[in-house]
Amino acid sequence: MPTWFAGRDAVCGFLARVVLHTPDQWRLAATRANGAPAFAMYKRMPDGSFRAHGLDVLSLIDGRISRIVAFNDKTLVATFSLPDTFAEPAR
């Protein structure tokens, strides 16, 4: 799903409309990818568990997010020694 958004308003609008529209749908697990901050993304399943969905890697400039690269590939989560599923919410 190649997409490009420039600016905070565009990114926040996309996330609100497409990704974060349902409360309590996602959990994040912090990690690092090539030295950069990253998050494994877990999506809630019908049984209430959270299953691996992909990985978001952040680029920072002066301590602020300047870029988010989303890898919507659930197999990447295991590469970071993180579980595929959480029975309880990841914190």
In a domain, 7, yes or no: no
In angstroms, the Cα distances linking 49 to 2, 16, 31, 38 are 28, 22, 20, 21
| Per-residue pLDDT reduced to its tens digit, 43-63 | 999 988 999 999 999 999 898
In a domain, 36, yes or no: yes
Confidence at 64, pLDDT banded by 50, 70, 90 = confident
Give me the domain span that covers residue 54.
Answer: 24-86
In a domain, 32, yes or no: yes
Residues paired with residue 37 on neighbouring β-strands, in sequence order? 32
Count of domains observed in the chain:
1
Report the distance separating Cα 86 and Cα 3, nearest Å.
29
For residue 2, the 8-state DSSP code is -
**Which tokens in the block code for residue 66?**
């300047």
17 pLDDT higher than 90: no
In a domain, 43, yes or no: yes
In a domain, 15, yes or no: no
In a domain, 13, yes or no: no
Contact 70, 26 (CB under 8 A): no
In a domain, 91, yes or no: no
